[in-house]
Amino acid sequence: MSSNALGLFGDPVSALAAAGTLKDAGFARPELMSPIPIHGVEEVLGPKKSVIRRFTLFGAIFGGLGGFALAAGTAVLYVHPTGGRPIITFPPFLIITYEMTILFGILATVLGFLISARFPAIRERVYAPETAVDKFAVTVTCDNEDTFSRAAAILRAAGAEEVRNIREGE
């Protein structure tokens, strides 16, 4: 049964260094937990890609097209001639398009965030409540006791104040 080694650190620099050492030692991607965003994670653990921007882009395009279709479709289906002016008029319909572009851009961004950050969490995940206050944690998944010992030794050597063995589902 797999377990997780979790090392608690008092500062972000040591935690980041520990994560880097674990990665170099061949552990599958170590995870950092912190009360604030840590700068320099990508330099140590590799670049991160996010799909959020695509969600935003396609949401905005969908909203814009939908907004214009709503306004123009309404004008065509419920004709309301005014002083010989065209039925589909761009200036007012572009305002509806603009608002709907932003609305759906926002909604799609939220959806992208939830999907890419895997929210909401359905089952219990590895966590140390101290990391919401003033501690910085590094976790790695360990297949057996030997791997855990090796990870714990690396974490302690990097300056971990405490190392915990957290089993999945605990």
Partner 1 sequence: MPTEEKPLQFADVNNDIVRSLVVTGRNYYITLGIAMFVALACFFFPWFYQLYYGIGAAGMNHPTVWGTYLASFIFWIGLSHSGTLLSCVLHITNSEWRKAMYRSAEAMTLFSLLVAATMVMVHVGRPWFIHWAAPYPNQMGLWPNFKSPLLFDVMAITTYLTGSLIFIYMGSIPDFAAVRDRTSGWRRHLYVLLSLGWRGTDTEWHRLGWAYTFLAVLIIPLAVSVHSIVSWDFAMSIVPGLHQTIFAPYFVVGAIYSGTAGIVTVMFVLRKYMNFEHLITQLHFDNLGKLLLFLSLLWTYINMLELFTGWYSGTSAEYEQIKYKLTGFYAPLYWEMILFCAVAPLLMFSTKFRTSFVPMLVLSIAINIGMYTERFLIIATTLSRQYLPDAWGVYVPSLVEISILVGSLAVFVTLFLIFVKIFPSVSIYEVKETMPQPRKREASLES
- Percent of residues in the chain assigned helix, strand, coil, to nearest 5: 50, 15, 35
Question: Which residue number, 76 or 144, has a Cβ lying nearer to partner 1?
Answer: 76
Query: Please, what is the minimum distance in Å from the beta carbon of residue 116 to partner 1?
Result: 5
Residue 65 to residue 99: CA distance in whole angstroms:
11
- H or E element: which one contains 141? strand 136-142
Question: Which residue number, 144 or 157, has a Cβ lying nearer to partner 1?
Answer: 157
Query: Please, what is the minimum distance in Å from the beta carbon of residue 62 to partner 1?
Result: 14
* CA-only gyration radius of the chain, Å: 25
Q: Which of 136, 138, 135, 134 is nearest to 18 (CA)?
A: 138
Query: Please, what is the minimum distance in Å from the beta carbon of residue 64 to partner 1?
Result: 12
Question: Which residue number, 96 or 152, has a Cβ lying nearer to partner 1?
Answer: 96
Spatial contact of 170 and 124, defined as CB atoms under 8 Å apart: yes
Footprint on this chain of partner 1 (rule: CB under 8 A):
10-14, 31-38, 41, 45, 48, 50, 52-53, 56, 60, 70-71, 74-75, 77-78, 80, 82, 89, 92-93, 95-96, 98-100, 102-103, 105-107, 109-110, 112-114, 116-117, 119-122, 125-127, 129, 131-134
Question: Which residue number, 99 or 145, has a Cβ lying nearer to partner 1?
Answer: 99
Query: Please, what is the minimum distance in Å from the beta carbon of residue 161 to partner 1?
Result: 11
Residue 118 to residue 122: CA distance in whole angstroms:
9
